[in-house]
Amino acid sequence: MDMSKQLLLPSTDNLPSFFRPETISETPCLGKKPSLDLDAAPIFDLDQEWQHSLFGRSIQECHRNLMHIAEDADMAIGVTDPHGTLLWTWSSTPMRSSAEQVHFVEGGQWSTQAVGQNAIGLALNTHSASCVYSHENQMNSVRDWVCYAAPITDAN
């Protein structure tokens, strides 16, 4: 067998152990992977009608609490629609510039199809809470971030 071809197609069985199984198993689901050098998420124009929905009114009721959490923890926090588009975000002062640079802002698209593996996309794909450590993020510009996400579902 030609060794150069073998090197181009590594087996997932040989991945380093610092990748957790839940993040490895999601990778094949990405289809066409975006470049690891992608600087920022794509931005979509938001339909502001979501703000008048029950979900939107709920976010308006608790946004001050979410803002305090982000400020106290020096982090960025956001709420997406079921497709990974950020509907609402808040970033602490130390995180604001970084969040804006990677489009972790309203309208930013954070599905795995848009930006590769990330906590939001993983939570949307698995319908469960997720954590993606820095080296597990597919987009290089957020490789120093540790990200958490959990789906909000309607109990009815």
Indicate which CATH number applies to the domain containing 79: 3.30.450.40
Q: Please give the model's pTM, rounded to 2 decimal places.
A: 0.77
Whether 69 is covered by a domain: the verdict is: yes
pLDDT 10s per residue in the chain (156 long)? 443 333 333 444 554 555 556 665 554 444 444 446 789 999 998 888 888 888 888 889 999 999 999 999 999 999 999 999 999 999 999 999 999 999 999 999 999 999 999 999 999 999 999 999 988 888 989 989 999 999 988 776
Written as six digits, the tokens of 33 are 């992977």
| Structural domain range at position 100 | 36-149
Local structure of 68: helix, strand or coil: helix
Whether 24 is covered by a domain: the verdict is: no
- The one-character DSSP state at 90 is E
Q: Enumerate the β-bridge partners of residue 78.
A: 89
Number of domains in the chain: 1
Confidence (pLDDT) at 41: 95
CA 142 to CA 145: how far, in whole Å? 5
Confidence (pLDDT) at 25: 53
H or E segment to which residue 99 belongs? helix 93-101
Confidence (pLDDT) at 4: 35
